[in-house]
Amino acid sequence: MLADTTPLAKSGRWAEALRDAGLAALVMLGLLVLIVGVQTVDGEGGLTANFRFDWVLIFCGAVFAGRLAAKLGAGDAIGRALAKPVGGAVGAFSAYSKQIVWLGLGFAAAMPFMPFADRYVVDVATAMLIYVMLGWGLNIVVGLAGLLDLGYVAFYAVGAYSYAMFAKAFGLSFWECLPLAGAMAATFGVLLGFPVLRLRGDYLAIVTLGFGEIIRIVLINWYTVTGGPNGISGIPRPTLFGMPFTASPPEGTTSVHEFFGIDFDPNHRIIYLYFVILALALVVNFFTNRARRLPLGRAWEALREDEIACRALGINPTNTKLSAFAVGAMFGGFAGAFFSTRQGFISPESFTFFESAVVLAIVVLGGMGSQIGVVIAAFVLIVVPELFREFADYRMLAFGLGMVLIMIWRPRGLIAHREPTIRLHPPQGNGR
């Protein structure tokens, strides 16, 4: 740092930066001269070439300038300037986390009745809450137990198809099917868990990835049961104590608006769905917060930290891992059943690897093991792209850029702070 201030070092630095930027521009030129510089056009009488060397020059100039700026430390300066407010915001967030949580809960409960809350807003909020719930479920497996699961969407699919089939085949209601869907998903969680007990890290990730694909491909090909690529349609909508949300209820039933003596409004069902997923998500959150303070949750975290030490302390690693898989899968199954009843139609297309990746990204960006982090990350990854719908073409670009920036400045996720599950001394100061 001191050496940088001397004139000689400064000029040397400039020379080196210029040389480096020149080289980068040269590499760019080599790459682009054919790819961008020559465009093939389907003209009359065959393929003709269209030359765009001005574009190549613009690109090379941009690379030169960017590389020069990065070399001279402009990138660091911008990084520092941005990192400070972000870090400060996160710090303030940790300090007032309790108040913020209650405020957020109050907002979530009142949101559908606010003036700006039209059907679209409530729908987006519901979609976000599905991802929050999935994130919280996956957080148990990845964040607490440290088992990298890339096939989480499989359990989501199992829950969704279980609900659809039970509801259509046996005429069971949503609330009767919910535990069944959860149980089915948990069973699949254990089924996946058994073969991967000895695997960890990358190997586990690959096998779970494969498992997710197996489920999806079975759904596509087992035509007689799952309807194949056509999926299942006409899935029963949710009811409130058996009362449907329809304008003209079937014979012998009362619909909700008749029961309450209010005018029919299609938004009632949307709002009801919103509250159902809010309640389900809060159940998951309550469970996880409690479980963290129980021997089971502590064993999950201990397993993430050091499996060999766990064995030396008499913790049964098989049971601990399977319970994490089963519980995580069960919550995924609940979310799947909800998804099924909300859409009224499901097909294997809704359960691609991309969904797993998004849920995992939510968990990782939020900060492994952090409950609030998942909510923030779900907001960033689900709602923010929705807000920028006009820039549809650049959404994925911004998505990737955001991920890269977060990983540079907060490599352990937005909320990396871990609250101890038990304390001997009351917390003091900043809770160190």
Partner 1 sequence: MSEALLQVEHLTMRFGGLVAIDDVSFLAKRREITAIIGPNGAGKTTVFNCLTGFYKPTVGRLSFHRPDGALYLEQMDDFRIAQAGVARTFQNIRLFPMMTVLENLIVAQHNRLMRASAYTFAGIFGLKRYRDAEAEAVAKARTWLERVGLVAEADWLAGNLPYGAQRRLEIARAMCGDPLLLCLDEPAAGLNPRESADLNALLKSVRDDFGIGILLIEHDMSVVMGISDHIVVLDYGRKIADGPPDAVKRDQNVIRAYLGEEESAPLPPEVAADIAEGRR
Which tokens hold the place of 298? 């502590």
Least distance between partner 1 and beta carbon 308 (Å) = 6
Q: Could you say whether residue 218 binds partner 1 (CB under 8 A)?
A: no
Q: Could you say whether residue 214 binds partner 1 (CB under 8 A)?
A: no
Q: Could you say whether residue 190 binds partner 1 (CB under 8 A)?
A: no
Q: Which of 23, 65, 279, 313 binds partner 1 (CB under 8 A)?
A: 313
Tell me which stretch binds partner 1 (CB under 8 A): 36-44, 123-131, 283-291, 402-410.
283-291
For the chain, give the longest Cα–Cα distance: 92
Least distance between partner 1 and beta carbon 430 (Å) = 12
Tell me which stretch binds partner 1 (CB under 8 A): 104-112, 233-241, 380-388, 423-431.
423-431
What residues between 289 and 308 interact with partner 1 by CB under 8 A? 290-291, 294-296, 298-299, 301-302, 305-306, 308
Q: Could you say whether residue 384 binds partner 1 (CB under 8 A)?
A: no
Helix (H) or strand (E) holding 38: strand 38-43
Least distance between partner 1 and beta carbon 354 (Å) = 31
Which tokens hold the place of 242? 């058996």
Least distance between partner 1 and beta carbon 51 (Å) = 58
Q: Could you say whether residue 411 binds partner 1 (CB under 8 A)?
A: no
What residues between 320 and 359 interact with partner 1 by CB under 8 A? 323
Among residues 420, 404, 421, the alpha carbon closest in space to that of 365 is found at 404
Burial call 407-421: b when 16+ CB within 10 Å, e when fewer: eeebeebbbbbeeee
The answer to whether the beta carbons of residues 356 and 212 sit under 8 Å apart is yes
Q: Beta-carbon neighbour count of residue 155 at 10 Å?
A: 39
The answer to whether the beta carbons of residues 378 and 128 sit under 8 Å apart is yes
- Is 148 or 157 the residue whose CB approaches partner 1 more closely? 148
Tell me which stretch binds partner 1 (CB under 8 A): 155-163, 198-206, 215-223, 316-324.
316-324
Tell me which stretch binds partner 1 (CB under 8 A): 123-131, 243-251, 271-279, 314-322.
314-322
Q: Which of 1, 8, 387, 424 binds partner 1 (CB under 8 A)?
A: 424
Q: Could you say whether residue 314 binds partner 1 (CB under 8 A)?
A: yes
- Is 200 or 298 the residue whose CB approaches partner 1 more closely? 298
Query: What does the per-residue mask of binding to partner 1 show for 230-259, with x meaning CB under 8 A?
Result: ------------------------------
Residues 250, 247: Cα–Cα separation, whole Å = 10
- Is 19 or 293 the residue whose CB approaches partner 1 more closely? 293
Q: Could you say whether residue 52 binds partner 1 (CB under 8 A)?
A: no
E-assigned strand segments in 52-202: none
Among residues 97, 193, 105, the alpha carbon closest in space to that of 145 is found at 193
Angle (CA) 331-154-281 rounded to 5° is: 20
Least distance between partner 1 and beta carbon 415 (Å) = 14
Q: Which of 38, 220, 243, 315 binds partner 1 (CB under 8 A)?
A: 315
Residues in the chain: 432
Q: Which of 22, 73, 249, 317 binds partner 1 (CB under 8 A)?
A: 317
Tell me which stretch binds partner 1 (CB under 8 A): 100-108, 234-242, 288-296, 379-387.
288-296
Q: Could you say whether residue 184 binds partner 1 (CB under 8 A)?
A: no
Q: Could you say whether residue 316 binds partner 1 (CB under 8 A)?
A: yes
Least distance between partner 1 and beta carbon 189 (Å) = 16
Tell me which stretch binds partner 1 (CB under 8 A): 30-38, 203-211, 238-246, 418-426.
418-426
Which DSSP state fits 50?
E
Which DSSP state fits 144?
I
Residues 212, 199: Cα–Cα separation, whole Å = 16
Half-sphere exposure of 312 (CA within 13 A, CB side): 4
Residues 295, 143: Cα–Cα separation, whole Å = 16
Centroid of chain to Cα 191: 24
The answer to whether the beta carbons of residues 310 and 302 sit under 8 Å apart is yes
Q: Could you say whether residue 427 binds partner 1 (CB under 8 A)?
A: yes
- Would you call 41 helix, strand, or coil by DSSP? strand
SS3 sequence of 199-253: CCHHHHHHHHHHHHHHHHHHHHHCHHHHCHHHCEECCCCCEECCEECCCCCCCCC
Centroid of chain to Cα 92: 24
Q: Which of 13, 52, 237, 418 binds partner 1 (CB under 8 A)?
A: 418
**Binding-site size, partner 1 (CB under 8 A):** 32
Q: At what angle do helices 153-170 and 353-366 cross, to 10 degrees?
A: 120
Q: Which amino acid is at 64?
A: F
Contact residues toward partner 1 (CB under 8 A) are 287, 290-291, 294-296, 298-299, 301-302, 305-306, 308-317, 323, 418, 420-425, 427, 432
